[in-house]
Amino acid sequence: MCFCKNPETKKPYRKGACPKYKKPGHAQWYGRYDAPSTGGKRRQPRIGPFRTRAEAEAAVRAEILRTSLGGMPCAYKVTVNEYVQDWLVRNKPRLAPTSFEDYERIINNLLVPALGHLQLVKLLPHHLRALYRVLGSQSVVANELVPTVTERLAPARAHHGARKLKGTWQYPLSAKRIHKVHAVISSVLTEACDRGLLVNNPATHAGLPAVVKEPPLVWTQARIEAWRETGEKPAKVMVWTPEQCASFLRHLAATRERYVALYQLAMTRGLRSGELLNLRWTDIDLTAPGSFTIRGTKTPRSRRTIHLGQANVVALGHWRRSQRRERDNSALPWTHSGLVFTDQCGRQVSRHTLRERFIHLTGEAGLPPIRFHDLRHCAASLALASGIDLKIISETLGHSSHSFTADFYTNVMPHNDRQAAEAVFALLDHTPAGHDDARPRPSGQQ
C-alpha cells in the first residue's frame, strides 16, 4: 500500500487504487545503511524493494551484520546470473576445455534458468534443495519452490530418454550427476564468499541425494543368457571375462580395426578416454619395454608414468607407421596435432565417435555389451586375475586412494577366491556333498 492521495478528495488511495501502483518500485519499501567508507567518502547503499517495512528493516540489519563481518557492500545489486557469467569468464583460462564446457552447460542450462533471477545474497539453501529435487525426478510436486523451479527449467528439459547433448538433459538426473551439479555451484559460491559478496555459503547445507556405488559385475554365462532373454544388463558397470577380452582383441585383429592399438591399450593399461585421446607421441617411449606418461585429467595421482608392455609397444609401432602413411598420402590438409590417436586428417578423435565405434565392434564380435569406460575395469580385473598387487593396480589406474581400488573391485572376479574356498574345505577335511563318501558313516553301517 502506498501513501499517495487522490488530488480531488485529498484522501489516501485505497489499496491497489493508486494509478502509479503498477510502476516498478512504487508502494514498496527500500532501505539504506552506512557502509564502510572508501577514500573518506560516505557510502549509503540502497537495498530493496521489499513488500513490507518489517522486511526492509530485517534486510538492513542483516546487511549491516554482513558488512561488519567483511562482506562487500552493494551486494544486493548482483544477481546470480550476473555473478556466474562473470565467474565463467574469469575462470575459463584455468579450466581444461572439457571441464569448462561441462561447467558452462550446468550453469547456463540449470542454475541460471532456475535461480539466475535471484539476487546473490538472497540465494539460500532451500533454493538449492528445490533445484536438486527437481533434477532428481521427472515430476515433483512438493513445497512452493519446486513447481516454480520446474516451470523455469521447462525450456531446458528434454523428454525422458533423450540424448544428453549441449542444451538438453535426460531426466531424472542420477544422484552422481546431481553431486556434480552441486560441486560446480559450490565452487562458484565459495569464490563469492572469498570475494566478500557472501558471508555464508548456501551450498553447505543443500541436502544432496545419496550416491550408491555400483561395483562392477562380470559377464558370466548365466548373466549373458538372462540378458539375451530380457535385454536388460544386470548392472550399469559390467566387465568381460579374460576369455571375452581375448575374443574381442582377436576380432579387432581379424577385421583390421583402425584403432586396435587404442582399444588394446585401454583394456590392458586402464586409461580413461580423456587420457587416451589427449596422449601425445612425445609422452611415449617405444623403446622396450616401453612406457608412457599421463599428464593427468582428474587428480594429482592421475599424473603418472606406467609401462606399456611388449604387445602394446608393437601395436603402437604399427599404428605410428600407419599414421605417417596417412599423413604422407592425405589429399586433405593434415593437422599436425602431435596426438597419438587421430582421424584421417590428423585431428583429435571425439569421445562420441570412440564410444559409438566401440558399441559397433562389440556387437560385431558377438559379445555382451559394456561401456567404453568399462575397458578400464577390464584392465583392473585382468590384473587382479594375474595376481598383481592391489597397490600396483591402484597406481597404474591413477586412483585417488588404494582403499577405493580395494572397495570397488572386491567382487569383480568371482573366481579369485576359489583357492581360499578349497583351502577351507581342506582344513575341515570335508568332501563336497554328492560324492559317495560325502559324510562319515556311523560305525557298523555298510
Domains annotated for the chain, with CATH where assigned, are 1-74 (no CATH), 80-205 (1.10.150.130), 217-411 (1.10.443.10)
Q: How far apart are the first and last CA of the chain?
A: 105
**% of the chain exceeding 90 in pLDDT:** 21
Match 558471508 to its residue by C-alpha cell. 199
Among the residue ranges 158-162, 388-392, 405-409, the one predicted with the least confidence is 158-162
Please say if the pLDDT value at position 320 is more than 80.
yes
Q: Quick one: pLDDT at residue 47?
A: 73
Mean pLDDT of 228-246: 90
Cα 236 to Cα 371: distance, rounded to the nearest angstrom: 9
Radius of gyration of the chain (CA): 31
Please say if the pLDDT value at position 346 is more than 80.
yes
Mean pLDDT of 169-195: 84
Greatest pairwise CA separation for the chain in angstroms: 124
Q: Quick one: pLDDT at residue 167?
A: 42
Provide long-range contacts, Cβ within 8 A and 24+ apart, for 352-358.
354/259, 354/262, 354/273, 354/276, 354/277, 355/273, 357/259, 358/263
Q: Quick one: pLDDT at residue 25?
A: 58
| Predicted TM-score (pTM) of this structure | 0.65
Confidence of residue 301 (pLDDT cuts 50, 70, 90): low
